[in-house]
Amino acid sequence: MIGVVGAGAFGTALAIALSKTGKDIVLWARSDRQAHEMAELRCNRVYLPDAPFPDGLRVTSDLNEVTAATTLLLAVPLQHLRGVVDLLSPGDTPLVACCKGIELASGKGPTGIIADTRRDQTAAVLTGPSFAADIAIGRPTALTLACADDTASASLQSTLTTPSLRLYRTTDTIGAELGGALKNVMAIACGAVMGAGLGDSARAATLTRGFAEMQRIGSVFGARPETLSGLSGLGDLVLTCTSELSRNYRFGLSLGRREAFDPKTTVEGAATAKAMLQIARDANLDVPITKTVTALIDGDTQIPEAIAELMQRPLKEE
Ligand SMILES: NC(=O)C1=CN([C@@H]2O[C@H](COP(=O)(O)OP(=O)(O)OC[C@H]3O[C@@H](n4cnc5c(N)ncnc54)[C@H](OP(=O)(O)O)[C@@H]3O)[C@@H](O)[C@H]2O)C=CC1
Ligand SMILES: O=C(CO)COP(=O)(O)O
């Protein structure tokens, strides 16, 4: 049995996709009300209303029901991952974090957060270019499964692959996590550029220089270049910086247009930008786009000043 902890858009989509293959899947929501409603309506009205549940998909708000799982997918926003891990009884079930970001308080990514309290439990991360709505209706999607232990990784890869969900694996958890975290920061930047009406050329420049920033950060922290240029890095960067289905991109659009944005929407890149800026300062690393995104979010700069500053940086080699 596979347990999916977190019944937001991504957890629900993964549960549906896996359940369609006939696997025994239990989807956990933290609220009784949501679990009951999903059981009754056989869909997730709040987060994924257009994707009906396969008959076999079970839903619960009782964590005991997922304790027998042989694999646990943790699909909650990164800043809440630590709290969710703490709710689970320790054991030997592999924990697969399905979230993207860097924790503000610790500067850690998903597998680092898990390892803090579950050093002996297998920790993996599932990341890459994929909108929940696409996964849920069976559109073809390719993702990265990153786990330091390649034997465990190969087993998870085969367990979680479906006819429409193709998983590639890597032992480079640092690269996969940094790619997934930082692409959201760059998506906010690209959204802001488009929201401010600066045009497609400016977005292409932001995306490309954003990727250069990701590579610079990655090389300092030991990410493999091929991971950053793979699905979890470049692949997800391209998707998220160019589609209005992305919440990070839409948040950026709202910044560029100086419009309000629903604070209940999950926007992983906002906290990640702050966390990354702190890490970069400590490491004496130049991260102009991350710095600009943080300043825009905090209201410490506006688009015209931010662009002028980026355009007037000292000239250098590409
Ligand atoms: N949506 C997508 O297309 C994709 C999302 N992801 C990643 O998946 C992760 C989850 O995002 P997503 O599912 O989209 O987010 P959603 O906003 O759709 O859902 C968030 C879920 O997390 C739950 N949650 C929030 N806070 C807590 C908490 N403190 N304890 C337990 N559960 C909590 C929410 O429960 P409640 O409803 O009760 O508040 C809800 O079920 C993110 O890191 C995101 O980057 C990755 C790929 C695609
Ligand atoms: O991570 C995603 C696509 O791969 C989803 O992006 P958003 O969180 O910006 O919606």
Residue 48 sits in a domain whose CATH number is 3.40.50.720
- Among residues 20, 23, 108, 183, which one is catalytic? 183
> Do residues 166 and 296 share a domain?
no
Pair (160, 262) in one structural domain: no
On whether both 52 and 195 belong to a single domain, the answer is no
User: For residue 67, what pLDDT band results from cuts at 50, 70 and 90?
Assistant: confident
pTM: 0.98
CA end-to-end distance (rounded Å), the chain? 50
The candidate with the shortest Cα–Cα distance to 266, out of 66, 124, 145, 131, is: 131
ipTM for the predicted complex comes to 0.99
CA count, 13 A, side-chain hemisphere, 56 = 13
Nearest ligand to the CA atom of 101: 1
Contact status, residue 280 vs residue 287, Cβ threshold 8 Å: yes
Residue span of the structural domain in which 260 resides: 181-312
- 141 shares its domain with 255: no
H or E stretch covering 254: helix 247-257
SS3 of residue 91 by DSSP:
coil
For 212, the token pair is 């250069």
Same domain, yes or no, for 11 and 148? yes
47 is in an annotated binding site: yes
Strand 123-127 relative to strand 141-147: parallel, antiparallel, unpaired?
antiparallel
Q: Tell me how far apart the alpha carbons of residues 203 and 218 are, in angstroms, rounded to a whole number.
A: 22
Active site residue 316: no
What does the pLDDT look like over 218-272, one tens digit per residue?
Answer: 999 999 999 999 999 999 999 999 999 999 999 999 999 999 999 999 999 999 9
* Residue 127 within a domain: yes
Q: Mean pLDDT in the chain? A: 98
Same structural domain, 167 and 224: no
Pocket of ligand 1, candidates 4, 10, 246: which has the most ligand atoms within 8 Å of its Cβ, to mutate?
A: 10
